[in-house]
Structure 1
Amino acid sequence: MQYKYATADDMELLIRSREETLRAVNRLPEDYAFSEEFLEASREYFREGDQTTVLALEEGRIAGCATMCYIDMMPTFSHPSGRRAHLMNVYTHPDFRRQGVGRTMVSMLIDESRDRGITEISLDATEAGRPLYRTLGFRDSDECMVLELNQE
């Protein structure tokens, strides 16, 4: 298994992995077509966004992906740098599950986050993913409230 930090040269792999992840997580059909607006916004984020994505590849095939999005916020006493991160799109193809792929990708991103001075990593976990995240030190939290602003 090859693990790599994605670059702009990996754009089509990044888009393919994002599509596969979203189809699986949202239980969409394999032939579900994402809008061009969505795909272009994803490309733009991979090009310009403050993020790091790890790809797991097996003989050129995408085995998994994971993205850490970096966020600058106003500093607080518990987070004096104001540097936080949100882990997204952690996905391992079914053929490669239970082999440490997800753990390796997330561990790489956690290490990089420490190097960048990040003081907190958040994530939205599926029930299937929670056990992995707990073993990596994440804890469940009920400290947060969310207001979703849907743009119609």
Structure 2
Amino acid sequence: MAGGALEHRLATRDDLPALAALMDAAISELQKPFLNADEIASSRKIMGLDTQLIDDGTYFIVEQNGVIAGCGGWSRRATLYGGDRSPGRDAALIDPTTDPARVRAMYTHPDFTRRGVGRLILSLCEEAARAEGFSRVELMATMAGEPLYRACGYQPVERVSDDRGGTAVPLLRMMKPLQQT
């Protein structure tokens, strides 16, 4: 899959089948060094895409040569993480003057890791959140995602464990101030 520039666009509902396949591949492969099989199975139940992000126009797809390499977005809503099936979602709008924007549902296809896909998505999310008046962003990192987020300036806030999928999955809430331009 080498060669070709990374391009980005907003996701549409027509992309849902391809996004589901990418997310499944990412969870299956990229979590293996960090989670056991039961934790990965549980992760599938609590993670995934919240289609509200697509409807809000805040979910990006990164492609290389027409192949989806990764996806991720940001939100101006209260939910910090989880997909459509996840319990406890809250679609309430948050206040950019007091609340951090949320970076959500970041996934890179295993064939495209370490090629700048995640960094590109983070920069798109941060730029869009900044343009809407947010001065901070936060996210809930998987153990596989933590090194990227640290390298991009995110700082740990709180280690948590989510057992809503049956087996506890370790997660790390992280935050970053946005530089105003």
TM-score normalised to structure 1 length: 0.65
Could you tell me which residue of structure 2 aligns to residue 4 of structure 1?
A: 9
Cα 1:95–1:137, aligned 2, differ >3 Å: closer, same or farther? same
One-letter amino acid of the counterpart of residue 7, structure 2:
Q
Following superposition, the deviation at residue 23 of structure 1 comes to 4.8
Cα deviation 1:9-30 (Å, max 9, x = unaligned): 54444444444445555635xx
2:52 corresponds, among 20, 45, 48, to 45
Structure with the bigger RCO (C-alpha within 8 Å, sep 6+) is 2
Could you tell me which residue of structure 1 aligns to residue 177 of structure 2?
A: none
Structure 1, 101-110 or 55-64: larger mean CA deviation:
55-64
Q: Extract unaligned runs of 5+ from structure 1.
A: 29-33, 36-41
- 8 Å CA contact 1:70, 1:83 repeated in 2: no
Structure 1, 98-107 or 51-60: larger mean CA deviation:
51-60
Aligned: 1:27 with 2:40: yes
Following superposition, the deviation at residue 7 of structure 1 comes to 3.5
Cα deviation 1:14-53 (Å, max 9, x = unaligned): 444444445555635xxxxx99xxxxxx6752454x4511
When Rg is computed on C-alpha atoms for both structures, the one with the higher figure is 1
- 8 Å CA contact 2:76, 2:102 repeated in 1: yes
One-letter amino acid of the counterpart of residue 102, structure 2:
H
Could you say what the CA RMSD is over the residues aligned between the two structures, in angstroms? 3.5
Task: Give identity over the alignment, percent.
Answer: 29
State the distance in 2 between where 1:47 and 1:90 align: 13
Aligned: 1:69 with 2:82: no
Q: Extract unaligned runs of 5+ from structure 2.
A: 1-5, 32-38, 78-92, 165-181
Runs (4+) of structure 1 exceeding 6 A deviation are: none
State the distance in 2 between where 1:64 and 1:58 align: 9
Structure 1, 11-20 or 129-138: larger mean CA deviation:
11-20
Cα deviation 1:56-104 (Å, max 9, x = unaligned): 112332211112121233x6xxx6x245321122111111111111101
Cα 1:46–1:15, aligned 2, differ >3 Å: closer, same or farther? farther
Could you tell me which residue of structure 1 aligns to residue 113 of structure 2?
A: 97
Between Structure 1 and Structure 2, the one with more helix by share is 1
Cα 1:9–1:120, aligned 2, differ >3 Å: closer, same or farther? same
